[in-house]
Amino acid sequence: MEKVPAEKTSPFFSAEKYVILSLTIDFKRGNGAMDKQKDWKTRQEESDGIIEGRNAVIEALRAGTSIDKIYLAKGETDAALGHIAAKARAAGIAIVDCDRRKLDAMSLTHSHQGVIAVAAVREYVDVEDILAAAREKGEAPLIVVCDELTDPHNLGAVIRTAECAGAHGVIIPKRRSAGLTAVVAKTSAGAVSHVPVARVANLTACLKELKEQGVWVYGTAAEARESIYQADLKGSAAIVIGSEGEGMSRLVRETCDVLLSIPMKGKLNSLNASAAAAILLYEAVRQRL
C-alpha cells in the first residue's frame, strides 16, 4: 500500500479524507463529461431537419422541400434574406423574426448567415381532409385541436395518443405552436406518418367552420363545472387542448360549445397537456365502444 504523505495524516487531512476527496473530484469530472455529452446529443437530436445558410434555404425552397418554419434575423435588410422571406410567404410558410442570439443557439454550424429553416417531416393536410377521413370510415369525426402547444415533445405525445385512440386528425395553429419537426416525429413514435395534421392560420375561424359542419367543440378548463364524464362525446367532436402555461386563449375558449374539466383529487390543479389529451380521448373511445 502506498505510504500516505505526513502532511496528509494530520487531524485536518486524513488519508481517508484524501481518498474520498479524490474520488469526489473524479466523480464530478465524470459527471461534467457526461453532461456535455448529453447536451451535445440533445442538440444533435433537435437539429434534425434544420437547414442553415442562405443558399441552402433558397435551394430547399426551390426544390419544394416541406418546411415548417423559417427563422430570420430581426432587422436584417439583406436582399437575399428579403428574397427568402418573399418566397416563403408565397408558399404559405410561417416566418419568425428573431434575435441573432436565438439563431446562434439553434445553429450547429455557426454559419447560419441570419437564416435557419426547419423542415417538416411530412406535408400538412387541409381540415376538410380530416373530415373526409372520418366519412370514409363511416365514423363521427374525433379531432384534437392544439391551441398554441409550443413544446414539441407534448405535441408528439398528443399525436401518438390521437393515433392510438383512433382520432381522425389533429389541428394546430400556424403560429405560436410546435410544428411537425423531427423532435415531434421522434416523440410520436412514428404516429405522424398515420395521423393527418392540419395547420391553420386562424384557429378561432377554423373552430367556427367545424361547428357549421356539425362538429361540437369541447374545451378543457380546470374551472369548468361540467366533468368530462358528464359530456356526450359519442357524436362529432373536436377536443381543444390548451397551451402548457396559459391554457386556451380567450377567443378559442369563447368559441367552444362546452367547457369540460378533469376531476382533480390531489393537491395540484392541472395536468400536462398531453396527459389531459389522453384522458379526454380515451373517455371518447370508451363512450364510442
- What architecture (CATH level 2) is domain 127-288? 3-Layer(aba) Sandwich (3.40)
Q: Give 275's contacts (C-beta < 8 A, 6+ positions apart).
A: none
Looking at the chain, the domain(s) classified CATH 3.30.1330.30 span 50-119
Q: What is the pLDDT of residue 121?
A: 87
Taking CA atoms, 208 is separated from 153, 184, 203, in Å, by 28, 27, 9
Q: What is the pLDDT of residue 32?
A: 53
What is the per-residue pLDDT across 6-50, written as a single tens digit (0 to 9) for each?
A: 444 444 444 444 444 444 444 444 555 445 444 434 444 445 678
- Where the chain has pLDDT below 50, the residues are 1, 4, 6-29, 33-34, 36-46
Q: What is the pLDDT of residue 235?
A: 95
Query: What is the enclosing helix (H) or strand (E) of 82?
Result: helix 79-90
Q: What is the pLDDT of residue 252?
A: 95
- What architecture (CATH level 2) is domain 50-119? 2-Layer Sandwich (3.30)
Looking at the chain, the domain(s) classified CATH 3.40.1280.10 span 127-288
Ramachandran bin of 110, using left for φ above 0, alpha for ψ from -120 to 50, beta for the remaining angles = left
Q: What is the pLDDT of residue 172?
A: 95
On whether the pTM is more than 0.95, the answer is no
Contact at 8 Å (CB) between 87 and 61?
Answer: yes
Q: What is the pLDDT of residue 25?
A: 42
